Structure 1
């Protein structure tokens, strides 16, 4: 215990807590649009303009779609060396509610495409920067964004200190249910907004998806309703549909082998019907993502699975290589390590052309707060909860005693993260303007969808 505490305090000599709040772009900073263009090289060309269109919509949307840009920027500064399993994309909208296997709504991180072991503060910086950008997007003064970012960093620090004094099993079983989030909303307006979010999440089931996403086929069997460009038949993307369907079937066979024995048995009680490509998210647009419909053998109950391509983490060029050569395995392992409770159908598979995929339920009572609807008070409280949640996720994999010792009892780290948040919000504004200019001058193509 003493050695771990000493390691945390020694890290302060390498990177002071105050210095973590510094940001100014160097003269040789990489062109942010070039980073996005490089990512586009491995994506479905017809879908890339949708990605640019979504990122152009606002500064917060740009930040959501640009973890690769921030990863490049984070690599330019010294880090603490205090390693945890990073989410890699811990912005405000990547926290939310979903159903545990016990069908209880829990609150946690919910996106792990970029997960990789790395310095804990990289996730904290992404979270606090997103808070400052969101505050501006909601029309709040920068003081509000700084205060909310400080609240998140303080909550992270205090939670890590608390977890440092707990046993391994107690830390592992820590979780936040939906009621915890509701308790943060003291005023009726804020509580009503969150209750609406939870009610929507509880309706987001495979049964609801069946009504929304399918229509009866010629034989009466539900078929996926194509809604281009967001739900797209393979033929419209230049692929042979029969070939793509066969690929999906092969992927499912590989995927099944990664599940626990009881879940293999459960999956075998469904029959595969068909798949379609589905555009999801902001940063993920253009990656190969399929929505697959399965029906239960007994009464035809639906199960929608998402088969999502896993590329190399945007953090990979700057950190040690993942222990997992399979990128889908990397995502799944990171998710299981960071989340208190994970999807029972979470698994991975290999695809054609050396591509990697992971699989999860498409709709399983998932939902998140609409950041644009948060007032100033609720933004601060929500940011605090996200800071607590991130600390709990990091404590499952990293040395929580050393990190707590590094953070200390004072507010040096909290204040530094508030400064960083505003400085990087300025950088995001500049980079967003660069994207708008690239669209205007024809360097990249953009469509709204």
Structure 2
């Protein structure tokens, strides 16, 4: 197993880590790249979150992963890509919540990436190697058991337990007014506050007008517009992996008179990082945004409100509502400690399995019976997967240190 990992690394990465990331980030908003690289320097998990293309370039040839059944993948499965949101049926769920890298690929690509993230996150708590391995094994065992059961469930407040239930209970109390506070003001007419809100940035006047006019034209062309007339737009700063791609926060009137305005997220959709390495052909999509939306609808129990693909000036974007209930279990500042982290991991494993089962048999994915049989045969692949994840984690840490040295040497821009 170790030899195959080493061979994959040697064959797939010729340039330095910094050069690879620079090449991948070409075309992103320049002033946001310094912030992106600053966030990636926090620790190895933050780097891992922001370097999915490098991960797949490193490990796409790992035989154990590639031999697993084909499935619709999240593509960027890690411990901080699960969170709460309000579905289009008005209920609040906890589920996978990022599908930018979604592809049709070997099912263990998702599981392996999630396990590597568990090992990296466990290091934040100072857990010894044996404890980290035990946590990873618990997660994979929960995944395999849920897959073998062959039934996809959903997680809401009534069915959640532990830290996930605490999160869903807490976010259920949040209201739209809290979401708008600090981001928007009604003084002089509703408008955004890009110079005050840390998650917003002002746009050049020409870009501001172009985005607002194009989006309003799109809204008016809809038979049933998802919101009222648009009021304002600003650049949006969020995440790590996609930071720097064109992304906007949009303020729009509510459909019902007297209601507070809505905040929308409009994010450019780029090709999925693992797509070029997938062993089988990908379906033909009208756009990358259509791929993201279709995958999210398939993999989540209930999609979030307003989720849809659209095009602005020929570029694909994904539109969704920004919600006061949206949150996640943040392991960079996890107040529940190692015990809470451990308690959440089996839930993550089951959620990933349920997502794979929901999309079974769709456009080239293995059917439910094949996925169930794979889960039942976990004893055949689980030890090898844990071995891979341990070796891959070491490579990721090496890449992280190489990246941080490059930033400190001035090869990559960084922000204070």
Q: TM-score, normalised by structure 1?
A: 0.82
Residues 1:228 and 1:214: Cα distance change in structure 2 (over 3 Å): closer
Cα deviation for residue 284 of structure 1 reads 1.0
Equivalenced residue count is 400
Answer yes or no: is the 8 Å Cα contact 2:310–2:316 preserved in 1. Answer: yes
Structure 1 stretch displaced more, 331-340 or 373-382? 373-382
Q: Which has the higher helix share?
A: 1
1:371-420 deviations in whole A, cap 9, x for unaligned?
24253333232111111110110011232321232343453433223222
**Aligned partners of 1:403, 1:100: CA distance in 2, in Å?**
27
Residues 1:20 and 1:405: Cα distance change in structure 2 (over 3 Å): farther
Cα deviation for residue 361 of structure 1 reads 0.8
1:165-217 deviations in whole A, cap 9, x for unaligned?
x5xxxx4xx311134432xx3xxxxx5xx565335533554321222211234
Greater RCO, CA 8 A, separation 6+: 1
Answer yes or no: is the 8 Å Cα contact 2:5–2:59 preserved in 1. Answer: no
Partner SS state of residue 249, structure 1: helix
Which residue of structure 1 aligns with residue 184 of structure 2? 214
1:102-133 deviations in whole A, cap 9, x for unaligned?
43221210001111111111000110000000
Residues 1:272 and 1:113: Cα distance change in structure 2 (over 3 Å): same
Which residue of structure 1 aligns with residue 322 of structure 2? 362
**Aligned partners of 1:228, 1:439: CA distance in 2, in Å?**
27
Q: How does 1:229-268 map to 2 (within 5 A)?
A: 230-235=199-204, 241-254=205-218, 264-265=224-225, 267-268=226-227
Partner SS state of residue 360, structure 1: strand
1:91 aligns with 2:78: yes
Answer yes or no: is the 8 Å Cα contact 1:146–1:419 preserved in 2. Answer: no
Cα deviation for residue 27 of structure 1 reads 2.7
Counterpart pick for 1:345 among 303, 306, 310: 306
Which residue of structure 2 aligns with residue 427 of structure 1? 395
Which residue of structure 1 aligns with residue 5 of structure 2? 23
Residues 1:198 and 1:427: Cα distance change in structure 2 (over 3 Å): same
Partner SS state of residue 345, structure 1: coil
Counterpart pick for 1:417 among 382, 385, 390: 385
Answer yes or no: is the 8 Å Cα contact 1:20–1:413 preserved in 2. Answer: no
Counterpart pick for 1:314 among 273, 282, 297: 273
Answer yes or no: is the 8 Å Cα contact 1:23–1:420 preserved in 2. Answer: yes
1:359-378 deviations in whole A, cap 9, x for unaligned?
00112511111224253333
1:112 aligns with 2:70: no
Q: Which runs of 5+ in 2 are unaligned?
A: 361-366
Residues 1:87 and 1:227: Cα distance change in structure 2 (over 3 Å): same
1:307-331 deviations in whole A, cap 9, x for unaligned?
0011111012112334214111111
**Aligned partners of 1:150, 1:127: CA distance in 2, in Å?**
12
Partner SS state of residue 154, structure 1: helix
Answer yes or no: is the 8 Å Cα contact 2:68–2:108 preserved in 1. Answer: no
**Aligned partners of 1:145, 1:155: CA distance in 2, in Å?**
16
Counterpart pick for 2:154 among 153, 159, 175: 175
Counterpart pick for 2:52 among 36, 49, 67: 67
Answer yes or no: is the 8 Å Cα contact 1:202–1:366 preserved in 2. Answer: no
**Aligned partners of 1:38, 1:65: CA distance in 2, in Å?**
14
Q: How does 1:361-400 map to 2 (within 5 A)?
A: 361-372=321-332, 373=334, 374-398=336-360, 399-400=367-368
1:294 aligns with 2:252: yes
1:118-157 deviations in whole A, cap 9, x for unaligned?
1111000110000000001221112222111111111111
**Aligned partners of 2:19, 2:232: CA distance in 1, in Å?**
37
Cα deviation for residue 84 of structure 1 reads 1.1
Q: Which runs of 5+ in 1 are unaligned?
A: 1-18, 186-190, 236-240
Partner SS state of residue 263, structure 2: strand
**Aligned partners of 1:281, 1:368: CA distance in 2, in Å?**
12
Residues 1:418 and 1:285: Cα distance change in structure 2 (over 3 Å): same
Which residue of structure 1 aligns with residue 132 of structure 2? 145
Structure 1 stretch displaced more, 307-316 or 136-145? 136-145
Residues 1:243 and 1:133: Cα distance change in structure 2 (over 3 Å): closer
1:227 aligns with 2:191: no
